[in-house]
Amino acid sequence: MASTILFFLFAGFAIACAVSMVYQKNPLYSAISLVGVFISLSCIYIMLAAPFIAAVQILIYAGAIMVLVVFVIMLLNLDEDAPLNRLRYLYAVGGGLGLILLAQTFFIFYAVMKAPKQVVDQTETVGRTISIGSGMYTEYLLPVEIVGVLLLMAIIGGVILVRRLEPAQLELVVDNELEARNEGDEKDDYRIVF
């Protein structure tokens, strides 16, 4: 009984934060509402005996991904836009899709209530950290290592792409660009803005 109450509490909080995320006009407030959705989902994962997935939800999504989203929002410096009156028909489309989603939700709720109850062994739950770790480093060791090498290659590629050039190398790049533009007389004039 208590788990049902907690589930509806966290699910209601997730739905409220999701509605707030869509309703907010300020993108920063929307991002904060999305963090609320992620936190409530991680609480639901904990109730489903999946602590590893809950921790990943907090660390990766509510932490790292949302920091990137907020950074992009701050970088873009979005201004207030005038409301678009020409897209009013989308309210009807959104309402129709919302009714379809509500019907699917009630169908899934009905199907779950009619399904036979099965006893779950708490010691053998798939979402436990020890079962995930033993699977990653025994049966799925090769795919984990391949993903690690691919991520390392992506990091090295990103560092190479964004590395800063030394001043001598930068002058060489500018000289080559000026020669390509046939502006060789300005070749050694470094008053040109880089």
pLDDT tens track, the chain, 194 positions: 788 899 999 999 999 999 999 898 888 888 889 999 999 999 999 888 788 888 888 988 888 888 888 877 777 765 555 556 666 777 888 889 889 988 988 888 888 888 887 776 666 656 667 777 888 888 888 888 898 889 888 888 877 776 665 666 666 777 777 777 766 555 555 555 44
Give the model's pLDDT for residue 176: 76
pLDDT number for residue 194? 47
Are the C-beta atoms of residues 187 and 179 closer than 8 Å to each other?
Answer: yes
Interatomic CA distance for residues 123 and 172, integer angstroms: 65
What phi, psi does 156 have (nearest 5°)?
Answer: -65, -40
pTM for the model stands at: 0.54
**Cβ atoms of 58 and 39 closer than 8 Å:** yes
Report residue 101 as tokens.
């989603």
Round to whole Å and give the CA distance between 28 and 69: 9
pLDDT recorded at residue 114:
86
